[in-house]
Structure 1
Amino acid sequence: MSSALTELCRYPIVQAPMAGGASCPQLAAAVSEAGGLGFLAAGYKTADGMYQEIKQLRGFTARPFGVNLFMPQPQYADAAAVDVYRHQLAGEAAWYDTPLGDPEAGRDDGYEAKLAILRDDPVPLVSFTFGCPAKQTLDALKRAGTLTVVTVTTPDEAQAAQHAGADAVCVQGVEAGGHQGTHRDDPAAGSGTGLLTLIPQIRETVQLPVIAAGGIMRGSQIAAVLSAGAGSAQLGTAFLVCPESGANALHKQAMTNPVFNRTELTRAFSGRPARGLVNRFMREHGRYAPAAYPEVHHLTSGLRKAAAAAGDPQGMALWAGQGHRMARDLPAAQLVEVLAAELSAASAALALRSAS
């Protein structure tokens, strides 16, 4: 990675910004204090909510951190398909005794208001998901002293990020938990590319530093993505189960619960492909969910909250990467230390093999 990015943290370990509550100030501060790079997720929050979390995080640590923004989404969903899905979910609304949400509740996630705050009161790093910002947006953040990262899932998306002036790309493999950060949700595009294949493809396409994301749970995997050309590794599921994480306790428990033994990409909860633990809701509704984000997200938001309140993980969005069974219930600082030690051991073993 470029020196500006490597100077943000002691170890090449980035805590992924997990929207929905997991990436709270307590978790981000613990990771940054331990030598990694903590991240706040501004997605699904108001601009003021994001600002309050930034202030809280600054009260916990003076170390650098990042903030992730969701890009506004174009209007391309089929309204009739969304309405059909609404009718299919009527039984869920009755079961959880809660109304379905308004699919037209908003498309931009407060994007411009959040950008205004981040320009006026800069943070060390801002990353973007679900698209690439305009060049003038990235230039304005750069003038404010902020480094910028764009999440990409293909070489073409990486080229767009380089053209717009991003400082780095977060290369997301198909193994990653949560939403696929594609710039456009194309149902005909296929399921995605594995991380160790995607990193060299993008390194041969653009000259930007790479943060690798997707299924990484051990220091040896960090060593592997560094050997493939990444400058650092971003881990989400690995940090989700930490006590500092703001994830629901049921979500944390499900990571290693043998009842939930596999993950799949699904549109069932949000209308965009996202990887989660296969549960009843996903099995019953995944095949019928339309490509309609954020309409489906708004539609199911109340159902997911009601399922959590009822203690029912079968109705929750249990986002998880493919390596979820390797999750370790450790304090975030200890996890950073363990990952760093594993990385050091794996790197030393690799160097020894190369020298022999």
Structure 2
Amino acid sequence: MHAPDNQRHSWGLADVPVGAYMLRGPERQHLVRLIADGVKTATCSLVADWEDAGEPLPRVGDREVVVDSEGRPVCLTENTVVTVLPWGEINEYHYLNEAEGQSSLEEYIREHESFWEDASGLVVDANTPVVFVEFQVIRKLDGVFPLGARLPIVQAPMAGGPACPALAAAVSNAGGLGSLAGGYKTAAALGDEIAEVEELTDYAYGINLFVPAQLAQGAQQGPGDELNPRHTLVPAALRQEAFDSFRSRIKDCCEEELPSEMYTGDDDYPAKLELALASHAACISFTFGIPPAGDIARVKEAGKQVVLNAISPAGIDAAIAAGADVLVVQCAQAGGHRAANAHVEDDTAEYTLGELLACARAKTTIPVIAAGGVSGAEDVVELLTLGATAVQVGTLFLLAEEAGTKEVHRQALVEFRQRPTGRTRAFSGRMARGITNGFMERFGEDAPALYPELHYLTAPIKAQGDPETASLWAGTGFANCVEQPAGTIVRGLVGL
């Protein structure tokens, strides 16, 4: 994801010279509040500071997310006028627009010269070139982060191990919203994880549940117990045949005997919902389907927020109609499974995040979280400028020290950096993105749309510890993964 060539996005403090971006405490807080309140509408800095930092000079149209001394975004600004001039030509106009509280132009000049000498070691005279930037606040950001987060970062609830209590707590403690993954585990295991995360953090966190297709809104049971064909599942009458056929093709990939019966369970959904309702979680998010209306009502009655996902305009409409408190829109660049809603969306939808955010913003005022393909702070800023309330990040947390990512997966994220990612149904029957490997290339073309049956069928194959047969879920930005503490990752995503 890149900003347009004629516009530079950055995450910093748009009020002081480059050499002073790390100001903390009351002074910075005062300047930030002046910007947010529309009092301070300009900033003046030394051209030399930009050159020493190797950064291009500001341009009209550049946008900056202004953050306070704790790294919390306060507002989004856009440059309207950029002027390079000698310091000696600074006059009353510039002093009044920068509006930092000096009582006169003379005091303004003295304070700036003293500040620059202290910060940059430069003695400024009348001929010293400066850049004077006028800007406007185009969006307030403070106090708008959803679900109790103190920063606009949401850790994706990655099932299969990564989104464990240690990771969720570390993200929440760092200011983001950590998430527990409820899918693919027993209710008892989820209960243990809830207890653990609540020991590790006092901050808000979320719990994610998979909604079984047979329970999701719009299932529309028909002859032969068929599900709505818009779910793109193999019809009920053909399911066993498709399962048996795929099993016979993949059985030589594993020495262990593969399951011969199709999975028919509900992922312990009812019991997990009860645990989530009784927890201290700030929200419960639902994936792969919109839960029954009664379940949504119970979440709200428990004082928690309902988070629903969408990958298309149809999914956005369905989530809003169902009463979502928060909406997550996900593009195709996201790692792991598409968050398509059963019976509503095709999991091969190709909408960009820009298109999904524009659609959501035109239809609702609830918080909208953008997810998919995020590779760093620049992407976070760009998505905020496009209208996201916060940004959900998964892949970049896979190598976090606290993540429960399996060792074979960690190894592949480092050793397979030159490999592309691709989408496949081969591991689960549902479209998902991962690092390409032998199993994907061999069976990805004709794997049937049998979810979750294929997930359980291929479990022994994935568990062998072989990177060529494991599901190496990763988004398109996986090459930017770095092994480091989750808190460091959160701070890096907001440019701190």
TM-score by length of structure 1 reads 0.89
Contact 1:122/1:145 (CA < 8 Å) preserved in 2?
Answer: no
- Alignment correspondent of 1:265: 423
Match of 1:205?
363
Indicate how the Cα distance of structure 1 residues 273 and 305 shifts in structure 2: closer, same or farther if over 3 A, else same.
same
Taking a change above 3 Å as real, the CA distance of residues 256 and 198 of structure 1, as seen in their structure-2 partners, is farther
Superposition map of 1:268-283 within 5 A: 268-283=426-441
**Superposition pairs of residues 172-321 of structure 1, within 5 angstroms:** 172-184=330-342, 190-258=348-416, 261-306=419-464, 308=465, 312-321=466-475
Matches within 5 A, 1:1-356: 6=146, 8-74=148-214, 76-77=233-234, 78-93=239-254, 97-184=255-342, 190-258=348-416, 261-306=419-464, 308=465, 312-341=466-495
Contact kept in structure 1, 2:333 and 2:475, CA below 8 Å: yes
DSSP-derived class of the 1:159 partner = helix
Query: How far is 1:278 from its partner?
Result: 0.4
Aligned equivalents of 1:183, 1:248: Cα separation in 2: 27
State how far apart, in whole Å, the 1-side matches of 2:190 and 2:482 are: 28
The 1-side partners of 2:154 and 2:345 are apart by: 30
CA displacement at 1:334 relative to structure 2: 1.0
Task: Point out the more displaced range, 101-110 or 207-216.
Answer: 101-110
Q: What is the CA–CA distance in structure 1 between the aligned matches of 2:261 and 2:345, rounded to whole Å?
A: 20
Identity %: 39
CA distance in 2, matches of 1:32, 1:187: 31
Post-superposition shift, 1:255?
Answer: 1.8
How far apart are the structure 1 equivalents of 2:434 and 2:364? 30
Relative to structure 1, the CA distance from residue 2 to residue 200 in structure 2 (aligned partners, 3 Å threshold; closer, same or farther) is farther
Distance 1:258 1:43 in 2: 27
In structure 2, do the counterparts of structure 1 residues 188 and 33 end up closer, same or farther at CA, with 3 Å as the change threshold? closer
Contact 1:103 1:296 survives alignment (8 Å): no
CA distance in 2, matches of 1:166, 1:218: 28
Task: Tell me the CA shift for residue 290 of structure 1.
Answer: 0.1
Please tell me whether Structure 1 or Structure 2 has the larger radius of gyration of its CA atoms. Answer: 2
Deviates more, 1:180-189 or 1:124-133: 180-189
Superposed CA deviations along residues 93-151 of structure 1, whole A, max 9, x for unmatched, are 2xxx1111255223421111111222233521110100111222111111111111001
Give the drift of 1:259: 6.2
Greater shift in the superposed pair: 116-125 or 227-236: 116-125
Higher relative contact order (CA 8 A, sep 6+): 1
Give a deviation string over 1:142-169, Cα, whole Å, max 9, x none. Answer: 1111111001111111111111111011
The separation in 1 between residues aligned to 2:419 and 2:457, in whole angstroms, is: 27
Shift of 1:338: 1.6
The gaps in structure 2 that reach 5 residues or longer are 1-140, 215-226, 228-232
- Show CA shifts across 1:305-339 (max 9, x none): 12x1xxx2011000000111111222101111121
CA distance in 1, matches of 2:323, 2:345: 28
Give 1:229 deviation, angstroms: 0.9
5+ long unaligned stretches in structure 1: 343-356
Structure 1 residues 41 and 10: alpha-carbon distance in aligned structure 2, compared to 1, 3 A threshold: same
8 Å CA contact 1:132–1:161 kept in 2: the answer is yes
Aligned residue number for residue 58 of structure 2? none
Residue 197 of structure 1: how far off its partner (Å): 2.4
Tell me, in whole angstroms, the C-alpha distance in 2 between the residues paired with 1:336 and 1:111.
30
Cα distance per residue 1:256-315 (max 9 Å; x no partner):
324651111100000000000000000001112100001111100111112x1xxx2011
Find the counterpart in structure 2 of residue 350 from structure 1.
none
Q: Cα–Cα, structure 1 residues 102 and 19, in superposed 2: closer, same or farther, change >3 Å? A: farther
* Aligned equivalents of 2:322, 2:345: Cα separation in 1: 25
The question of whether the paired residues in 1 share the 8 Å contact of 2:198 and 2:280 is answered with no
Is the alpha carbon distance of 1:258 and 1:301 closer, same or farther for their aligned partners in structure 2, counting shifts above 3 Å?
closer
Q: Is the 8 A contact 2:340 2:346 kept in 1?
A: no
The corresponding residue for 1:349 is none
Q: Distance in 2 between matches of 1:189 and 1:33?
A: 34
Verify the 8 A CA contact 1:37 1:64 in the aligned structure 2: yes
One-letter identity of the residue aligned with 1:55:
A
**The 10-residue stretch of structure 1 (24-33 or 157-166) with the greater mean CA deviation from structure 2:** 157-166
State how far apart, in whole Å, the 2-side matches of 1:71 and 1:104 are.
18
Deviation at 1:188, TM superposition (A): 6.9
Aligned residues between the structures: 335
Greater share of helix: 1
Q: Whole-Å Cα distance in 2 between the matches of residues 103 and 194 of structure 1?
A: 38
Look up the equivalent residue of 1:181 and give its one-letter code: A
In 1, Cα distance between the equivalents of 2:207 and 2:488? Answer: 23
Distance 1:272 1:185 in 2: 13
Structure 1 contact 154–202 (Cα < 8 Å) conserved:
no
